[in-house]
Amino acid sequence: MASEEKHIILETRDLAVGYTSKRKSDVIASGISFSVSEGELVALVGANGIGKSTLLRSLAGMQASLKGEIFLKGKRLSEYGMLQMANELSVVLTETPASKNLTVLELISLGRQPHTNWMGTLSEEDKKAIKFALEATNTETLAQSKCYELSDGQLQRVYIARALAQDTTLIILDEPTTHLDLYHRAYVLKLLKKLANETGKAILYSTHEIDLAIQLSDKMLVMTHETCYFDRPKNLIADGRFDSLFPTETIDFDKNSGRFTIKE
Amino acid sequence: MEGVQTYKAYFVILVLLLFLTFLLNLSLGSVSIPVNEVFSALFGGETAKSSWQYIIIDYRLPKAITALLAGSGLAVSGLLMQTLFRNPLAGPFVLGLSSGASLGVAFLILGASAFGGFFGSLLLSQWSLVIASALGSFLVLLAVLAVTFRIKDTMAILIIGLMFGSVTAAVVGVLSYFSNAEQLQQFIFWSFGSLGNQSWQGVLIMAICCFIGLAVSFFSSKSLNALLLGENYARSMGLHIKKTTFVIILATSILAGSVTAFAGPIAFVGLAVPHITRQYFKTSNHFTLIPAVLLSGGILMLFCDTVAQLPMSEFTLPINAITSLIGAPVVIWLLVRKRKLLF
């Protein structure tokens, strides 16, 4: 392996995801092959119900995959113990944390759980990681606020800070821009970009903001009913991968601007 | 997470309050005994009246300790349930735990005649009462949990808990129909809730059970903190959900089960105390909350029991009536004032 080549953190080979019941397995998406390297921001896009969340849940080890393989830092995901995985992979989910009574600092500190002893005592290293997470997400001023007092935009930053505090090589985010206004959508994605560049973390997120994702992501995974495409955004545009993402009688993709327009 | 240190002053106040209510509880009753006489009775000195010594040591002290244990145990089990079910309305009473314990005890008391004679009396020993009650609440909790794994909606789980309560009440009803007056009376007195008439041996058994339950709860604090983020987040931080859930449920049923066995089904303490505590301890850290809830539960129960004895009168009210009379308005007041209950 060439020394200047970036390390691959997450890789899938011909992965199929879905649900299994006693009688049959229900494949939601298949033929997924892609990788996320160190310092890369990768977007996962596709229509509603195409299996984005299912794929992310499988990648995060929250549900079993049906076929193919997932490698995390070159080791099969299924070979990881729970705590070991928690040291490599953190998540930001669409569900809101159960307790809104937590303070921002408490919530972010919980990200240190895989690293602390049975009492959850915070060492100097833990405190440093928490401080970094607060600063990186610009949430220092919110530290003592209760979560129920925050806006959606602030909350999203807090959830990202918690994942940062967990200090993993890979962060997986499920639709981190939902419910946010345009400014916060751009803010969150720029933050992810900056984090990937500056900390060398591999970041994978799903989104419906295809326009923004094209502008900010290093690579994109486009899921359609038939297959999945994985490449740099400009190559995907050139190959016309976004053209048929949505029914063309309603929405058109403009290759020059990289934006979707509503058909008159 | 802010630790115990931040709330040092509060803990000092709680401990002082606990001593105060404990002494008050020993001193007041149908016969008022001055506090200095209470002290000399406790430490083996001479009391002005010899009957006072007897009242304190053989009646009021076991009762006060029972109240302390019952309050602490129920309150902590309520806190655990609220975190586990991610629902501010959860508590041993609401989720049918107490009804489960009632069912266990009903089978034991009302069904004892079926076994007859020596075996029947063996069944009614204090240990068997605890085991039956703990088993009853454990089974109900397992049933509620089995449903939890299938249904994600916590509201549905609470409703199912209430339904379990109704079913066990119905079964108890059927059992009482077929039992004789004496057994029925024994069961009904148990169901009123009573902290008194406790032998020292009973107090010891209850203390051992509560201690185990509280210790398991405290050692689960880190997991409980993780659960505040929800199961998926907790799992992503390396928590074994099934193992943790089982341990927490075990601790809850030991606490609620043993308390209910000795003191009867006591309402509202489990639900109300964690919420009252959160008014002062503005943290969600279980390492702080568990000791705080434990102390507050003990204080509230001792206070309720002192009221129930109706100082200066011959009468004693059922403890269940007092906890409900105090607990229900507190919950209503919290809801009206804050418009929502958080956990």
CATH number for position B322: 1.10.3470.10
What is the nearest CA distance from B340 to chain A, expressed in angstroms? Answer: 11
Query: Could you say which of A83, A99, A119 has the minimum Cβ distance to residue B284?
Result: A99
- Write the residue in A90, A97, A119 that is nearest to B222 by C-beta: A119
Using a CB-CB cut-off of 8 Å, the residues of chain A touching B225 are 110, 113, 120
What are the chain A neighbours of B88 within 8 Å (beta carbons)?
Answer: none
The region, left, alpha or beta by phi > 0 then psi within -120 to 50, assigned to residue A205 is: beta
Q: Distance between CA B31 and CA B50 in Å, rounded?
A: 13
Contacts of A243 (CB under 8 A, 6+ apart): A253
**In B151-180, alpha helices (H):** 154-177
Q: What is the mean pLDDT of residues A53-65?
A: 93
For residue A208, pLDDT over 70 is answered with: yes
- Radius of gyration over alpha carbons of chain A, in Å? 19
Q: Over chain A, what is the mean pLDDT?
A: 91
% of chain A surpassing 70 pLDDT = 98
Q: How far is B251 from chain A (nearest CA, A)?
A: 18
The predicted-structure confidence for B212-255, as pLDDT tens digits, reads as follows: 999 999 999 999 999 999 889 999 999 998 889 888 888 888 89
Band the pLDDT of B298: cuts 50, 70, 90. very high
User: Residue A256 phi/psi, 5° resolution?
Assistant: -70, -45
Query: Who among B1, B219, B237 is closest to A166 (CB)?
Result: B237
Which pLDDT value is given to residue B340? 65
Which of A84, A119, A148 minimises the CB distance to B287?
Answer: A119
Does the interface ipTM go beyond 0.90? yes
Cβ contact A89–B228 (<8 Å)? no
* Contact between B237 and A113 using a beta-carbon 8 Å cutoff: yes
Chain A residues close to B226, C-beta within 8 Å: 110, 113
- What domain count does chain B have? 1
Contact B278 A101 (CB under 8 A): yes
Mean pLDDT of B278-290: 90
A106 vs B233, B240, B284: nearest CB: B284
pLDDT score for A3: 44
Mean pLDDT of B18-43: 89
- Chain B residue closest in CA terms to A106: B1
Is B226's CB within 8 Å of A91's CB?
no
Question: What percent of chain B has a predicted confidence (pLDDT) above 90?
Answer: 31
When CB atoms are compared, the residue of A93, A109, A119 closest to B233 is A93
Partner-chain contact A97 B229, CB within 8 Å: yes
What is the crossing angle of helices A182-199 and A152-165, to 10°?
10
Q: How many CB pairs under 8 A join A and B?
A: 92
* Most distant pair of Cα atoms in chain B: their distance: 65
Q: How close is the nearest chain A Cα to the Cα of B343, in Å?
A: 6
What does the alpha-carbon distance between residue B257 and residue B255 come to, in Å, rounded to a whole number? 5
Q: Which long-range contacts (CB under 8 A, 24 or more apart) does B307-313 make?
A: B309/B28, B309/B29, B309/B30, B310/B30, B311/B28, B311/B29, B311/B30, B311/B32, B312/B30, B312/B32, B313/B30
Cβ-in-10-Å burial (0-12, 13-18, 19+) of B116 comes to exposed
pLDDT the model gives residue A163: 96
Domain boundaries, position B201: 4-338
Task: Mark yes or no for CB contact A102/B228 under 8 Å.
Answer: yes
B114 — pLDDT class (breaks 50, 70, 90):
low
Please check whether residue A143 touches B, CB under 8 A. no
The C-alpha of A201 sits at a distance from chain B's nearest C-alpha, in angstroms, of 17
- For residue A109, the chain B residues in CB contact (below 8 A) are 1
Which A positions 99-128 lie with beta carbon below 8 A of chain B? 99-103, 105-107, 109-111, 113-114, 116, 118-120, 122
Q: Would you say residue B109 has pLDDT above 90?
A: no
Question: Does B228 sit within 8 Å of A120, measured CB to CB?
Answer: no
- In DSSP notation, B111-141 reads HHHHH-HHHHHHHTSHHHHHHHHHHHHHHHH
Which of chain B's residues have a Cβ under 8 Å away from the Cβ of A155?
none
B82 falls within a domain: yes
Chain B residues within 8 angstroms (CB to CB) of chain A: 1-2, 83, 86, 219, 221-222, 225-230, 232-233, 235-240, 278, 282-285, 287, 342-343
Per CB-CB distance under 8 Å, the chain A contacts of B233 are 91, 93, 97
Q: What is the pLDDT of residue B213?
A: 95
- Strand segments, DSSP code E, in A21-88 are 25-37, 41-46, 67-72, 75-76
Q: Per the CB < 8 Å rule, is A110 touching B1?
A: yes
Residue A98 to residue B228, Cβ atoms within 8 A:
yes
Instruction: Tell me how far the alpha carbon of residue A51 is from its chain's centroid.
Output: 14
Dump pLDDT digits (tens) for A102-158: 999 999 999 999 999 988 889 999 999 999 999 999 999 999 999 989 999 999 999
Are A120 and B287 an interchain contact pair (Cβ–Cβ within 8 Å)?
Answer: yes
* Chain B environment of A100 (Cβ under 8 Å): 342
Say whether B100 sits in a helix, a strand or coil.
Answer: helix
**Strand pairing report for A41-46 and A219-223:** parallel
User: Which chain B residues have a beta carbon less than 8 Å from that of A60?
Assistant: 236
* Integer Cα distance of B222 and B286 in angstroms: 7
Report the run of H or E that residue A212 belongs to, with start and end.
helix A210-216
pLDDT at A247: 82
With respect to residue B343, please indicate whether it lies within any of the assigned structural domains: no
Average per-residue pLDDT in chain B?
84
Contact between residue B189 and residue B319 where contact means Cβ atoms under 8 Å apart = no
> Rounded distance, CA B305 to CA B295, Å?
15
pLDDT digits (tens, 9 = 90+) for A184-195: 999 999 999 999
Q: In this model, does residue B150 exceed pLDDT 50?
A: yes
Task: Kindly report, residue by residue over B189-206, the tens digit of the pLDDT.
Answer: 777 777 887 788 889 989
Q: Do B238 and A82 touch (CB under 8 A)?
A: yes
Helix H or strand E segment including A262: strand A259-262
Say if the Cβ atoms of B235 and A82 lie within 8 Å: yes
Distance from CA of A253 to the nearest CA of B (A): 36
Q: Is B55 contained in some domain? A: yes
CA distance B202 to A164: 52
> Is B160 domain-assigned?
yes
Query: What does the alpha-carbon distance between residue B231 and residue B224 come to, in Å, rounded to a whole number?
Result: 11
The residue in chain A having the minimum alpha-carbon distance to the alpha carbon of residue B241 is A82
Tell if the CB–CB gap between B238 and A113 is shorter than 8 Å: yes
CB-nearest to B236 from A60, A122, A146 is A60
Write down the architecture of domain A8-262 according to CATH.
3-Layer(aba) Sandwich (3.40)
